[in-house]
């Protein structure tokens, strides 16, 4: 797999440091709250699994799966819920866990969907953020890394369902997806 990667953007050690720092912040900010982490499948699983270990306030977890119709490397704007929440979120403090925010369309939709169920609060944490590509406005409470506009894989991020298992975030070579 390494030969398909143009450059390692964030190595495992750097990501780990950041995840620890984010876990500490969340633990402070959510003291005394009813925290529910909602991971967006499948890209967030590696980040979510790692982040969980560094949160030391009581919390529960749930997952949602959505698909957005578009080509392989960008979102079209049409979002469909494939797996909804199992948890009743009324009164809970929700933190949506994403791998990467690109156009922001997926999350914008999800925020609306979750807010309708009257949680106490809804915030977003993303491992990676590509603000250059944003098409809709949104407030992101926690960001791991702001990244340039490259197609990235690894640490949960895929291209055609592959590369999720890379322990780092890398830039995929153009010839792989062109």
Number of residues written out for the chain: 178
# binding residues, Mg ion (CB under 5 A): 1
At which residue do the structure tokens 């250059």 appear? Answer: 132
Site residue total, ligand IMP (CB under 6 A): 16
174 is catalytic: no
**SS3 (DSSP) at 72:** coil
Q: Which is nearer to Mg ion, 43 or 170 (CB)?
A: 43
Run of H or E including 152 = strand 152-153
Q: Sign of dihedral through CA atoms 5, 144, 57, 90?
A: negative
Give the one entry of Mg ion, ligand IMP, none that residue 26 binds, where binding means its C-beta sits below a cut-off of 5 to 8 angstroms depending on kind: none
- 43 or 119: whose CB is closer to Mg ion? 43
Provide the token pair at 11. 């190595």
User: CB–CB of 54/20 below 8 Å?
Assistant: yes
- From the candidates 102, 137, 149, 158, which is the catalytic residue? 102
Cα–Cα distance for residue pair 177/13, rounded to 1 Å: 28
Determine which residue in the list 9, 22, 38, 43 makes contact with Mg ion, applying CB under 5 A: 43
Q: Which stretch binds ligand IMP (CB under 6 A): 7-15, 52-60, 87-95, 103-111?
A: 103-111
Per CB under 6 A, contacts with ligand IMP among 30-49 are 43
Of 30, 142, 151, 155, the residue at the interface with ligand IMP (CB under 6 A) is 151
What phi-psi label fits residue 156: left (phi over 0), alpha (psi between -120 and 50 degrees) or beta? left
Binding site for Mg ion (CB under 5 A): 43
Binding residues for ligand IMP, rule: CB under 6 A, are 43, 68, 75, 98-106, 151-153, 157
């Amino acid at each position: 797999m390494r030969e398909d990667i143009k450059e390692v953007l964030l190595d495992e050690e750097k990501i780990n440091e950041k995840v620890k720092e984010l876990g500490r912040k969340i633990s402070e900010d959510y003291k005394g709250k009813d925290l529910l982490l909602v991971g967006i499948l499948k890209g967030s699983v590696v980040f979510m699994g790692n982040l969980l270990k560094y949160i030391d306030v009581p919390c529960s977890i749930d997952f949602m799966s959505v698909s957005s119709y578009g080509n392989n490397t960008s979102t079209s704007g049409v979002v469909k819920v494939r797996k909804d929440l199992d948890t009743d979120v009324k009164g809970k403090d929700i933190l949506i866990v994403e791998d990467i925010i690109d156009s922001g369309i997926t999350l914008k939709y999800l925020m609306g969907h979750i807010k309708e169920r009257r949680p106490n609060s809804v915030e977003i944490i993303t491992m990676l953020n590509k603000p250059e590509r944003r098409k809709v406005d949104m407030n992101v409470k926690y960001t791991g890394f702001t990244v340039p506009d490259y197609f990235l894989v690894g640490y949960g991020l895929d291209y055609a369902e592959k590369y999720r298992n890379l322990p780092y975030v890398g830039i995929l070579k153009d010839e792989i997806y062109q």
